[in-house]
Structure formats: structure tokens, C-alpha cells
Amino acid sequence: MAASDALGQFEQVVLTAILALREDAYGVTIHAKAQELAHPKAVSLGAVYVTLDRLEDKGFVSSWLTDPTPERGGRAKRCYRVEALGERALEESAATAKRIFDTIAQVWGKQWARQWGKRWRKETG
Amino acid sequence: MRAGPSRVAEIIVALLVPPACREEVTGDLHERYRSPLRYAAEALQTVPLLILSRMRSVTDPQLLLLQAFVFYICFLGADKLNGGAVLRDAWGLVRCAIPAVMALLGLVLADTYSNPAPRPPHPARSPLAGVLIAAASQGLLAIGRPEVAIPRLTLLYGCGMSLLLSSSIRLWFPPFLRPVSPGQWMQQAAEARDKGLSGTAAALAAVGIGILLLLVMAIAAK
């Protein structure tokens, strides 16, 4: 994968949010999901739009406009979908994260991994 | 009935958001509305980022450099045609750069606020906006700091040449304005690829135009 095609940390968060939301991925829901994934960091709506724009430029996601709805003041939503290129980039990121975790666990030991797992489960409920 | 932002606030936000993403962004802000203060805060946080993002999307750095070069050469050439009074001044090169920078700023802003759907804007639209902003800024300078402004005839020649050359460049190398639908975007990308226009071609054209203008200036000086 070329350097320009590699995913930044926030791009990973936004791409994962789109993947998780499936058919309901648009500005508001992506922002809410990204905020949940990036917890405890705060995520601004503007940053989500900028990242979506960049991901679309890279060909990782595609978008389309839906029909206008009254709860949005008669305006349409722009829905997003992860494309094959985006799925590949996300897989690569997940594999890298897994390798990093395994290496840390190897160095710091099984005790640390168990404690980390407990803390993770507690944080995510 | 669900509360929403005031009509005036929505119109202001809609005017500030670039048209390419206006529909979805104003809709998202409407959906997230809780109070007028929060709406204003969210709009203030979001709109500048959207403008910068759109600028990044529509600006090709090589093409922008070429346009900057053309604008500057045009105003230098215009001064030469008008007797070279500005260039004889110690700050002449800087004085000629002011309208060129303003024209470039106008061009980028016009591209940012142009809507590629349903069809791309006319090639002369953004250069026209650029020269109008350059002329307006010179008008303001003539009122506030007349010693910095360039003479009216030089401005007229410079704006005319800039408009002509900049529009020609945009005919040869159309700016990358991403349309709304992915299908259109792919079609535009394929067309650009078929034409085989590259950064090298743009650089060669810049050198060619530069030489041409230098020749014109040399002839005019004689």
C-alpha cells in the first residue's frame, strides 16, 4: 500500500464508524459513532466532514444523497459506504494494531494482557 | 412540532457553506439542533473546516502555481506596457504582487464556492471573480494608501491579460472540481486520464507562456 493510501488514526475511526453503521452512515450518525470509538477524546463535526472528504478523495468510501426528510428541514442526507479499497486499508490497520498489541503483550507478559482485557471490558461495558 | 434553528440563521449558514456540501451539512446541523447558541457554536466550528477542506479538494498545487505565475507576469507586463512607472519604484515588484495575490485568492474562493453539479462552471468564471477582487482591492488601496496602489491603466491592462490567459489555462487544464455523484467523479477522472494532461505538461505550458509574455514585453519596450 502506498504511503498516501495509508490510514491515519482518525481516518480509521471514521471508516470503522461507517462500516459499523452499514446503511445508516451519514454525517450525524458517523459523528456519534466516531465520538464513541474515539472516547475519551472529543470529536468535532467539522473534523468528521473533512475526514469523509479525504476518504472519498482516496476512493476508500463512496457517497450518495437520499431523499429530503422533514426532521432535517427538508434537506437530504449524504450517506456513505465503505468501498473495497477502504475495506482493504481497514484490514491492514486492524492487522497492524493486532501485531502491536501482541508485541506489547509479549514484552509486558500475560498478566498485563489479562488486566488490559478486564479494563477494556469495563470501559466498553 | 420539533424545534429548529431560525430561518435567518439557516440562511447565513447555508450561504457560508460551499454549495458542493451545502445540502447535507445544513441538514445535519438542523437535525442536531438543540438551542440557538449550540447551533451557532457548531456552525462556527464546522464551516471554516468545510471551506478549507473544499479548497484542498478543488486546488491542484501545480495549476495554482501556474496561475500565480501568470497573474504576476500579467501585472508586471501591464506596468511595462504603461511606461514602467511602478517597476521604477523601490517596492515596484511588491506593488505588482498585491493585485496578483488578490486575483489568486479570488480565483481559489470562486472555485471553492462553485458547484460542479449539474455541469462544471464556465472556464472564465473563477478568473473573472479573481480579477474583480484584484480590482476591488486596488480600489480600496487607492482610497486608503494611494502610494501602494498601481495606476488605473496598469490595473486595467493587467486584469484584461490575466482574465484572458487564466481562462485559456483553465480551458487546457480544467480544475479538479469533484461533482456530487461518484459516477460523475469517475467519469471526470477517466476523461482527464484520457487527455493525458500531467503536471509536466502544465509546467511546460507555464514556461511557454512566460517566454511569450517576455517577448511581448521586450517588443513593447522597444
Identify whether B45 is part of a domain. Answer: yes
B182 touches chain A (CB under 8 A): yes
Kindly list the domain boundaries of chain A, sorted by start residue: 3-90
Interface of A with B in 4-33 (CB under 8 A): 26-28, 31
Whether residue B196 lies inside any domain: the answer is: yes
- The residue segments making up the domain with residue B96 are 59-221
Higher pLDDT, A3 or A109: A109
pLDDT of residue B181: 47
Residue A45 has what pLDDT? 94
pLDDT-derived band at A6 (thresholds 50, 70, 90) equals: confident
Judgement on whether residues B25 and B131 belong to the same structural domain of the protein: no
Query: Under 8 Å CB-to-CB from B79, ≥6 apart: which residues?
Result: B85, B86, B87, B92, B96, B150, B154, B158
User: pLDDT by residue for chain B (222 residues), tens digit each?
Assistant: 567 889 999 999 999 999 989 999 999 999 999 999 999 999 999 999 999 999 988 888 888 999 999 999 999 999 988 888 888 888 889 999 999 999 999 999 999 998 877 677 788 889 999 999 999 999 999 999 888 999 999 999 999 999 989 988 888 777 765 544 445 545 555 555 555 555 556 666 666 666 666 666 666 665
- Does residue B2 lie within any of the structural domains? no
Does residue B97 belong to any structural domain of this protein?
A: yes
B49 and B75, same domain (yes or no):
no
Chain A residue numbers touching B21 (CB-CB < 8 A):
49, 53, 78
CATH topology classification for A3-90: Arc Repressor Mutant, subunit A (1.10.10)
Same domain for B66 and B151, yes or no, is: yes
Q: Are B30 and B93 found together in one domain?
A: no
Residue B181 domain-assigned (yes or no): yes
Together in a domain, B63 and B13: no
Does residue B136 share a domain with residue B42? no
The verdict on B74 and B124 lying in the same domain is: yes
* Whether residues B133 and B197 fall in one domain: yes
The grid coordinates listed for A98 are: 493486532
Question: A53 and B53 in contact by Cβ < 8 A?
Answer: yes
Q: How many domains does chain B have?
A: 2
> Does B12 share its domain with B106?
no
CA trace torsion A57, A60, A65, A70 (10° rounding): -110
**Ordered DSSP codes for B86-120:** HHHSTTHHHHHHHHHHHHHHHHHHHHHT---SSSP
Please tell me whether residue A27 adopts helix, strand or coil conformation: helix
B72 and B96 fall within a common domain: yes
pTM score: 0.77
What is the predicted ipTM? 0.84
Select from A50, A53, A71 the Cβ nearest to the Cβ of B31: A71
**Amino acid at site A83:** E
